[in-house]
């Protein structure tokens, strides 16, 4: 049964992803594999485009490009470890970006715009959570419905137009243009979300409960965890991450648009899966998800640096997902022996 | 009226989202000061009295519901133009991206026996049959932009020139670089959706025009027509090419993201040419504050022209500036180059992306 495994993973000061790699456990091996993949990609970059790839500005670019989806991936990791799935992330981000850039919201200034994005994201996530935890809808269905509805609402609200951030609210755009130590502010936001996410998942009761709920909800309930409330909070958390991502995408593109975040759900889920998080829940790590995400971002970067076609890039990404999941299954088997 | 109800409906939906009263007060997109959005200016009145009220006609209209400022402008221009005529009954059907729904929508217009149809099909091949049915039922079809393969399926085609757009951009860039005396320039191209024939035609025209100057495209990538992918692709392209001489971006909508990436990188050693002719791109050109120097049009004003042509066809009139008694069979808009010198003339025609 999976019960002992859950208990093990949920140990208060359980080994972190990086330490685990020394133990050669599942997550550790996955991380080693991902680091190897990243190193390999970097070597490819160094060989093919030495002058462009190995520059400071390219590194900053990669970090900035990964920020939006990176923040979403952190939320997605929580949801998937908790035994769920969130298909609505891209749509919620689009809705939050549109809502925060309507002329009416913009009239209140940049702080309200940012707050609006966060509230809309969290609110939509909360609706997901309520439907799933208390309405007993299957996560796949509930978030699929949210995907369609949020995208539709975003289109309706923006009249399918691209909403520009007005000059007086350029404080939002400065998140992208202002650099501290040569790195855009939005990268710090991304880093903060990753660190906070890591701490919450590995060092708090909330994190332990997430592993427990995802590993074996029944056991978690018997252990006195309010499983429904926790499930609801996980989706709200994912929604909040979408709100943060909306602020980042607004800063990067200077717009809110119903087309933002198209297919982000797939990229985020793929990053989480190749990062070693089990789709069935109960186990996973944020470090793995972020490494997985960087594999994807690096591939995109390398393809464009080398002037290659985007279609081939999609094929490469598909192959990586398959290989990662195959490895994961082999590791699981070895472990269960 | 329906607009009001719809707005109320979505406000209620917004509150239901649980985002609270503050946020729900923020959904309005009504400009608070002076409206920035302009309605497409009526084209200069044609001489010869064709605009004078004539026989009453009904015009059916069907177009896709793409998530793009350009298509939004198409629908709006058609409606605005139709409303200018007291002798026109404008009958639009619900815009849709679903081929099946568009087919049944057009069928319903045929059954209503409208006098003339204006169709922008989701896909010319797939809507060909239903357009043919309309023609067979004696309803002339004005085919807007995406062409039906079968000439029996439409009375008149009016649309843009994708190849010509590439040519216009290529000439602007080629001439400018030649004048500067640049040899071996780095020319970067950011396409829309690479698999679409229209994108391939644009790229072909660009390539052919550059060739006349002895230049070629150094790198091209597609950006799927969205702001976000435009931003992402441009960020990476700027990294790939440390020195660029000129950049052509096929689409002003995705161009917002491209410009954001360029501004973020602080690069300004090159100049950029846009495509389509959005109001925003024109304002950038006018202000001269960015690398965007010009844009080549693929103007949604073609929808206004299509309505005017449809009305003339239904009333049996010709175009008063031409000699013929009837409207021509096909009209291809020229792709015009907008620069700082002439942007003031074009601004009223620009669409809000």
pLDDT tens digit string along A19-39? 443 334 555 666 888 888 889
- Total count of domains within chain B: 2
- Total count of domains within chain A: 1
- Asked if residue B212 lies in contact with residue B181, where contact means CB atoms within 8 angstroms, the answer is no
Residue A257: list chain B partners with CB under 8 A: 226-228
State which residues form the domain around B190. 162-297
Angle between helices A56-81 and B227-240 (to 10 degrees): 140
Round the average pLDDT of chain B to a whole number and report it: 86
Residue A255 lies in a domain: yes
A25 burial type by CB count under 10 A (0-12 exposed, 13-18 middle, 19+ buried):
middle
Residue A181 lies in a domain: yes
pLDDT greater than 70 at residue B19: no
Backbone angles phi, psi at A305, to 5 degrees: -60, -35
Residue B210 lies in a domain: yes
Domain containing A223 — which CATH number? 1.10.3470
In this predicted structure, what is the pLDDT of residue A30? 67
Rounded to a whole number of angstroms, the distance between the first and last alpha carbons of chain B is 25
- Residue to mutate among B27, B255, B290, B352, with most A CBs inside 10 A, is B27
Partner residue facing A99 (CB), from B26, B240, B257: B26
Residue A208 lies in a domain: yes
* CA B228 – CA A200 distance, rounded (Å): 30
Residue B91 lies in a domain: yes
Contact A160 B194 (CB under 8 A): no
Residue A149 lies in a domain: yes
Nearest CA of chain B to the CA of A260: how many Å?
Answer: 6
Assess whether B66 and B85 both reside in one domain: yes
In this predicted structure, what is the pLDDT of residue B115? 95
Assess whether B156 and B167 both reside in one domain: no
Residue A86 lies in a domain: yes
Assess whether B225 and B132 both reside in one domain: no
Round the average pLDDT of chain A to a whole number and report it: 86
CA-closest candidate to residue A159, choices B214, B28, B90, B1 = B28
Nearest CA of chain A to the CA of B150: how many Å?
Answer: 32
- Asked if residue A211 lies in contact with residue A280, where contact means CB atoms within 8 angstroms, the answer is no
Assess whether B88 and B188 both reside in one domain: no
Assess whether B101 and B169 both reside in one domain: no
- Residue to mutate among A252, A261, A293, with most B CBs inside 10 A, is A252
Assess whether B205 and B103 both reside in one domain: no
Residue B213 lies in a domain: yes
Q: Which of residues 253-292 of B touch A (CB under 8 A)?
A: 253, 256-257, 259-261, 263-265, 280
Name B274's bridge partners.
B295
In this predicted structure, what is the pLDDT of residue B1? 42
* CA B292 – CA B342 distance, rounded (Å): 14
Residue A192 lies in a domain: yes
Lowest mean pLDDT among A166-170, A192-196, B24-28: B24-28
Lowest mean pLDDT among A60-69, A238-247, A322-331, B29-38: B29-38
Interface size A-B, in CB pairs within 8 Å, comes to 166
Assess whether B61 and B153 both reside in one domain: yes
Give the CB-side neighbour count of residue A243, counting CA atoms within 13 A.
Answer: 24
Q: Which of residues 71-130 of A touch B (CB under 8 A)?
A: 99-100, 102-105, 107-108, 112, 116, 119-120, 122-124, 126-127
Lowest mean pLDDT among A154-163, B80-89, B138-147, B274-283: A154-163
Q: What is the ipTM of this complex?
A: 0.74
Assess whether B166 and B152 both reside in one domain: no
Other CB atoms within a 10 A radius of the CB of residue A196 amount to: 12
pLDDT greater than 60 at residue A15: no
Domain containing B244 — which CATH number? 3.40.50.2300
Assess whether B172 and B266 both reside in one domain: yes
- Residue to mutate among A60, A162, A309, A310, with most B CBs inside 10 A, is A162
Residue A93: list chain B partners with CB under 8 A: none
Residue B15 lies in a domain: no
Confidence band (pLDDT; 50, 70, 90) for B272?
A: very high
Sign of the dihedral through C-alpha A112, A118, A119, A121:
positive
**Higher pLDDT pick, A169 / B36:** A169
In this predicted structure, what is the pLDDT of residue B327? 93
- Tens digits of residue pLDDT in A301-318: 888 888 887 788 888 888
Rounded to a whole number of angstroms, the distance between the first and last alpha carbons of chain A is 14
| 3-class state of residue A204 by DSSP | coil
Nearest CA of chain B to the CA of A181: how many Å?
Answer: 15
- Asked if residue B221 lies in contact with residue B258, where contact means CB atoms within 8 angstroms, the answer is no
- Region B252-270 average pLDDT: 93
Assess whether B307 and B239 both reside in one domain: no
Residue B138 lies in a domain: yes
Name B91's bridge partners.
B60
Residue A1 lies in a domain: no
Assess whether B310 and B260 both reside in one domain: no
Assess whether B178 and B63 both reside in one domain: no
State which residues form the domain around A136. 23-336
- Region A164-193 average pLDDT: 91
Residue A221 lies in a domain: yes
């Amino acid at each position: 049964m999976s019960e002992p495994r859950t208990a093990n993973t949920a140990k208060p000061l359980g080994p972190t992803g990086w330490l685990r790699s020394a133990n050669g456990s599942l997550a550790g091996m996955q991380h080693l594999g991902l680091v190897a993949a990243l190193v390999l990609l970097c070597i490819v970059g160094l060989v093919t485009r030495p002058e462009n790839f190995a520059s400071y500005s390219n590194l900053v670019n990669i970090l900035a490009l990964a920020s939006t989806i990176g923040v979403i991936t952190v939320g997605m990791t929580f949801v998937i470890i908790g035994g769920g799935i969130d298909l609505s992330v891209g749509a919620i981000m689009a809705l939050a970006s549109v809502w925060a850039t309507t002329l009416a919201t913009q009239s209140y200034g940049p702080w309200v715009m940012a707050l609006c994005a966060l509230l809309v994201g969290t609110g939509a996530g909360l609706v997901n959570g309520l439907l799933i935890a208390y309405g007993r809808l299957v996560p796949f269905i509930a978030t699929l419905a949210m995907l369609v509805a949020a995208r539709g609402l975003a289109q309706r609200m923006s009249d399918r137009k691209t909403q520009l951030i007005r000059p007086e609210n350029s404080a939002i755009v400065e998140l992208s243009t202002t650099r501290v130590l040569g790195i855009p502010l939005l990268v710090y936001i991304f880093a903060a979300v990753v660190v906070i996410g890591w701490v919450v998942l590995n060092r708090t009761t909330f994190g332990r409960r997430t592993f427990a709920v995802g590993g074996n909800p029944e056991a978690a309930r018997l252990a006195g965890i309010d499983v429904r409330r926790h499930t609801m909070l996980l989706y709200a958390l994912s929604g909040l991450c979408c709100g943060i991502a909306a602020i980042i995408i607004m800063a990067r593109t200077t717009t809110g648009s119903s087309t933002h975040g198209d297919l982000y759900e797939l990229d985020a889920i793929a990053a989480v899966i190749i990062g070693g998080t089990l789709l069935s829940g109960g186990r996973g790590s944020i470090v793995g998800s972020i490494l997985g995400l960087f594999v994807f971002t690096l591939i995109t970067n390398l393809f464009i640096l080398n002037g290659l076609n985007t279609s081939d890039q999609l094929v490469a990404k598909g192959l990586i997902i398959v290989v990662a999941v195959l490895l994961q299954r082999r590791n699981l088997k070895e472990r269960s022996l | 009226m329906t607009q009001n109800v719809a707005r109320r409906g979505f406000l209620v939906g917004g509150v239901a989202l649980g985002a609270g009263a503050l946020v729900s007060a923020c959904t309005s997109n009504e400009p608070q000061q002076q409206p920035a959005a302009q309605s497409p200016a009526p084209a200069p009145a044609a001489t010869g009295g064709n605009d004078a009220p004539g026989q009453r006609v009904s015009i059916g209209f069907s177009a896709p519901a793409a998530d793009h400022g350009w298509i939004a402008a198409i629908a709006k221009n058609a409606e605005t133009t139709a409303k200018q005529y007291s002798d026109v009954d404008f009958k639009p059907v619900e815009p849709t991206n679903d081929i099946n729904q568009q087919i049944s929508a057009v069928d319903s217009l045929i059954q209503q026996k409208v006098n003339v149809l204006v169709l922008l099909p989701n896909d010319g091949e797939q809507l060909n049959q239903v357009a043919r049915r309309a023609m067979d039922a004696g309803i002339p079809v004005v085919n807007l932009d995406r062409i039906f393969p079968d000439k029996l399926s439409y009375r008149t085609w009016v649309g843009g020139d994708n190849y010509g757009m590439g040519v216009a951009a290529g000439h602007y860039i080629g001439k400018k670089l030649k004048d500067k005396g640049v040899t071996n320039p780095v020319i970067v191209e950011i396409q829309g959706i690479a698999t679409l024939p229209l994108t391939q035609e644009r790229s072909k025209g660009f390539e052919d025009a550059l060739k006349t100057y002895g230049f070629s495209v150094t790198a091209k990538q597609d950006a799927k027509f969205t702001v976000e992918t435009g931003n992402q692709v441009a960020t990476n392209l700027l990294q790939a090419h440390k020195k660029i001489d000129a950049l052509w971006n096929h689409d002003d909508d995705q161009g917002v993201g491209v410009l954001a990436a360029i501004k973020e990188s602080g690069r300004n050693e090159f100049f950029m040419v846009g495509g389509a002719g959005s109001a925003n791109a024109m304002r950038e050109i006018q202000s001269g504050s960015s690398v965007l120097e010009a844009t080549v049009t693929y103007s949604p004003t073609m929808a206004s022209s299509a309505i005017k042509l449809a009305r003339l066809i239904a009333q049996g009139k010709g175009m008063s500036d031409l000699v013929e008694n009837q409207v021509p069979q096909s009209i291809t808009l020229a792709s015009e180059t907008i620069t700082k010198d002439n942007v003031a003339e074009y601004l009223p025609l620009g669409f809000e992306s």
